[in-house]
Amino acid sequence: MTVVAPARVDRTTLAERLDLIVAPVFAAVLAVIGGAVWLYSDIDDTTRAILAPEKLQKQLVETLVLGFASSALVIIIAIPIGIAVTRRGLPRVKNFLVDTLGLAQALPAYGLIVLFFSWLGAGIGTVIVALATFSLLPVLRNTIVGLEQVDQAVIEAGRGMGYTKSQVLFEIELPLAVPVIIAGVRTAIVINIGMAALAFLIGGGGLGETINSGLKLDRNPAILIGAVMVAILALVFDFLSAVAQRYLKPKGM
C-alpha cells in the first residue's frame, strides 16, 4: 500500500510577517521626526547643553542597563515560579500569585517606583527591582499559560514511553511553551525599556533625565527628542524580540 505525501505548507502567516515590519517602520518614522525637530526647530545653547552627545550616550547606556537588568531579573524569577506552580498540587498558589501580581501591574509605575524608593532608597538597584515587579506578571502568566496549553496527549505519550518527570518538562513542555513564554518576555522588555524613562525620579538616570530637563527648562525640542529616543529604543527591542521569537520557536509548529 502506498501513502500519498501531502504537499509541504508555507509556515509564515501574514501576521508573523507584519510583526517584523511594523516596529522598524514606526522606528524609522520617529527617527525622521526627531531629525526634523533637531534640524528645523529653534535650538539654543540650553537645548544644546541638554542634548549634549556625551550626556545622551550616558543616559542611553543607563536605560539599556535598566532594561536589561530588570528583564533578566524577571526571567530568572518568573519562569521558575511559573514552572513550579504548574506542577501538580499548586493551583491555589498559582491563582494567588497571578492575582497579586495583577494588582502590582494595576498600580501606576510611578507609584511603584516611589514605593520602592521609600523602602530601598535611591539608586539604580531600586529602579531595577521596581521595574521587575511591574513586568513580572506578563512573563509569569505566559509561562503558566504556555505550559498549560501543551497538549496533554503529548505529555501522556512522553510519560508512557518512559520519560521521567524532568525529561517531560525539558524535552516536551518547555520547548512547546517557548513561543508563549517569549511573547511574555517580549512584553516585559518593552515595558521595562519604556518605564526606565521614569528612573530619573529616584536618581536612576536614563533618558528620562533629558525629558525632565526639557520640561523644567521649557525646551520643547529637548522633550521631543528625548521622548522619540525612548520610543525608538522600545521599538528596536520589540523588533529584536520578534526576531528571537521567530527563531526560537520550535520547528514543526
Q: Does 13 bind another protein (CB under 8 A)?
A: no
Residue 91 φ then ψ, to 5°: -65, -30
Nearer to another protein, 123 or 179 (CB): 179
Q: Does 118 bind another protein (CB under 8 A)?
A: no
Q: Does 157 bind another protein (CB under 8 A)?
A: yes
Residue 121 φ then ψ, to 5°: 85, 180
Smallest gap from residue 175 Cβ to another protein (A) = 5
Q: State the angle between helix axes of 174-195 and 220-248 in degrees (0 to 180), rounded to the nearest 10.
A: 170
Cβ-based neighbour number of residue 31 at 10 Å? 15
Smallest gap from residue 15 Cβ to another protein (A) = 18
Contact pattern from residue 69 through residue 108 relative to another protein, giving x for each residue in contact according to CB under 8 A and a dash for the rest: ----------------------------------------
Q: Does 6 bind another protein (CB under 8 A)?
A: yes
Give residues 168-227 in contact with another protein (rule: CB under 8 A).
172, 175-176
Smallest gap from residue 183 Cβ to another protein (A) = 17
Smallest gap from residue 152 Cβ to another protein (A) = 8
Nearer to another protein, 2 or 13 (CB): 2
Nearer to another protein, 46 or 167 (CB): 167
Determine the interface stretch with another protein among 14-22, 120-128, 133-141, 154-162 (rule: CB under 8 A). Answer: 154-162
**Contact between residue 176 and residue 154 where contact means Cβ atoms under 8 Å apart:** yes
* Site residues for another protein per CB under 8 A: 1-3, 5-6, 8-9, 151, 153-164, 167, 172, 175-176, 250-253
